[in-house]
Structure 1
């Protein structure tokens, strides 16, 4: 380097930036090497390194260039304080990105671990709670990072102090927020931790049958059986009765009702019903029953009850029983099919 070139010159600035970037790249390479060595014994370290790589590179690049500018020619310029503030904001944002990526990886690992240990309703309950906590943590990180960015401006600090000193304004803002946004957020947390519904639960809402697909902080998405999506505010589940089929267990009873003629042979029908159910892979072996539950208006009502391990098998079993019983009646006992009788005798 020529003798008249110093670190305080623009050439020196370029050299400083290059040197800092090289040092940062070496540090990142060493971290990657350490992660690769550790991952031989702890496999998830490799996944963590892959997950945070982009955020780590962005944060390191911003901090490196900021340091290079602070120790070279730009720091002596009048515009440097404004640019330095931009670097501070970028550091806060990229650091928040890095923290959020690490937190998300940790929660995903925890959810996957819980799903291998627990099954059924308990697994759905833990998964729902972890998902809600995960979202709360991410929202907290976002709010804190935004607050940190705003408070880098002296003007915003003055405004914030004035607002906090005014109890009247704060109470009005808090009241309005509690009625709208905060009220729904609190309902979302309540839904998750009171075990009212869980991700994967089978529910009937507003006459629609479906599964709870997503529980967010302010709304719940119900996956309807025909692939539609029903988006419901969280406070709906804290103020309105809902029908759930899987609160404590996935096991469920299915019912088929048949209106038949009075001449239906119940003993033979019970035997055929038992044969059909026992041959079906959808039956879980717990319960089956055929009973006449009503007899009026020229018909008898036969109720067929069968058990299944979950709602999907229950639906399959009900359809199978209904179809095969109807076919059996048509073939073997057509006189048992429902019919309307009219008396044509003379008045």
Structure 2
């Protein structure tokens, strides 16, 4: 009867029409199983007093129903947190060029939701244990471990809670966000996933680097897209002193204007250094994000080298050798050996 009532109640919510009805229907679908368990608990609670069982058995059954109810509440809270976070994130898109706000919100929601799931689990298990007098001390210990860092019980719980607190700090302060371009441990990649205890960085060659979440609060790292996804790429060429700088500036402007990767902001060429043999030319160009910046740098480098090779080959670096020996002069006969003349 309880299962039938639960199915009827769920079906009633699933028939709610309209735009908001879609959200109600989706939520009712997720809460279908917890609702059925709740109705079973209610039915058993009403049946136990009239079953004619001994008082001891009635107390045990009520204790079991209380534990199941507490676990049901924790389960329902976890489902509700996941549902509403998914509903919020469904309106976010990280595919566009200007995805800064979306990445910020997605990072906050995902990290905080995972931290909330862990807190719900700890509190639910603690509350269930608190219903048993012989094991109340274990529940108190769990509550203590879920508190501030100064109340952490045991060295075993310390790393977990340290990373959990670091995850909450990252969700609030946001030194990193999902799809941020970062350099960690000398490797360049993107933040692919942020959990409550670790961060997955997708490297440029598709490898994955797994780092504890506390790493991003305790060690320095580079975040190329912290404020904006746009980046400036630098291209360096070592050339001969005869390199046509003005012609190269015009060629650089032509290359970036013809490229779909350029964002239309930065285009610059300067002689950044000079040695006894070559000069160093630095070219700057901006793009919308890190991958496009890399591709634009490669495109400019390839086309500029081709331009110099075709139009000004003397600008390419070369090694000069000078012969400082004296030139051809009057022939000098080798000295004759000394000694007595014949005869």
Instruction: State the TM-score, normalized to the length of structure 1.
Output: 0.80
**What residue is the counterpart of 2:331 in the other structure?**
none
Range with greater deviation from structure 2 (325-334 or 98-107): 325-334
CA distance in 2, matches of 1:150, 1:24: 28
Instruction: Report if aligned partners of 1:39, 1:45 keep a CA contact under 8 Å in 2.
Output: no
Equivalent of 1:70 in 48, 52, 62: 48
CA distance in 1, matches of 2:250, 2:140: 80
**What residue is the counterpart of 1:16 in the other structure?**
none
Equivalent of 1:287 in 255, 266, 271: 266
**What residue is the counterpart of 2:26 in the other structure?**
47
Count of residues paired in the alignment: 320
CA distance in 2, matches of 1:328, 1:281: 19
1:296 maps onto 2:275 in alignment: yes
Q: What does 1:123-272 correspond to in 2, within 5 Å? A: 123-157=102-136, 173-174=152-153, 176=155, 179-272=158-251
SS in 2 for 1:285: strand
1:41/1:94 CA distance change after superposition, 3 Å: closer
CA distance in 1, matches of 2:19, 2:272: 66
**What residue is the counterpart of 2:313 in the other structure?**
334
Residue segments in structure 1 that go unaligned for 5+ positions in a row: 1-21
CA distance in 2, matches of 1:43, 1:161: 42
**What residue is the counterpart of 1:102 in the other structure?**
80
**What residue is the counterpart of 2:335 in the other structure?**
none
Range with greater deviation from structure 2 (205-214 or 334-343): 334-343
CA RMSD of superposed structures (Å) = 3.1
**What residue is the counterpart of 1:7 in the other structure?**
none
Instruction: Report if aligned partners of 1:212, 1:223 keep a CA contact under 8 Å in 2.
Output: yes
Instruction: Report if aligned partners of 1:252, 1:311 keep a CA contact under 8 Å in 2.
Output: yes
SS in 2 for 1:304: strand
CA distance in 2, matches of 1:234, 1:339: 50
SS in 1 for 2:15: helix
Equivalent of 1:321 in 300, 306, 321: 300
CA distance in 2, matches of 1:173, 1:236: 20
TM-fit CA distance, 1:284: 0.7
**What residue is the counterpart of 1:4 in the other structure?**
none
TM-fit CA distance, 1:171: 7.3
CA distance in 1, matches of 2:292, 2:52: 70
1:330/1:148 CA distance change after superposition, 3 Å: same
TM-fit CA distance, 1:77: 8.7
SS in 2 for 1:270: helix
Instruction: Report if aligned partners of 2:152, 2:158 keep a CA contact under 8 Å in 1.
Output: no
Instruction: Report if aligned partners of 1:291, 1:303 keep a CA contact under 8 Å in 2.
Output: yes
SS in 1 for 2:176: coil
Range with greater deviation from structure 2 (74-83 or 265-274): 74-83
Instruction: Report if aligned partners of 2:16, 2:22 keep a CA contact under 8 Å in 1.
Output: no
CA distance in 1, matches of 2:150, 2:233: 53
The structure that is helix-richer by fraction is: 1
Structure number with bigger Rg: 2
Instruction: Report if aligned partners of 2:190, 2:202 keep a CA contact under 8 Å in 1.
Output: yes
CA distance in 1, matches of 2:99, 2:152: 42
Instruction: State the TM-score, normalized to the length of structure 2.
Output: 0.81
**What residue is the counterpart of 1:29 in the other structure?**
8
Range with greater deviation from structure 2 (65-74 or 156-165): 156-165
Q: Deviations over 1:302-331 (max 9, x none)?
A: 111001121121111111111111222222
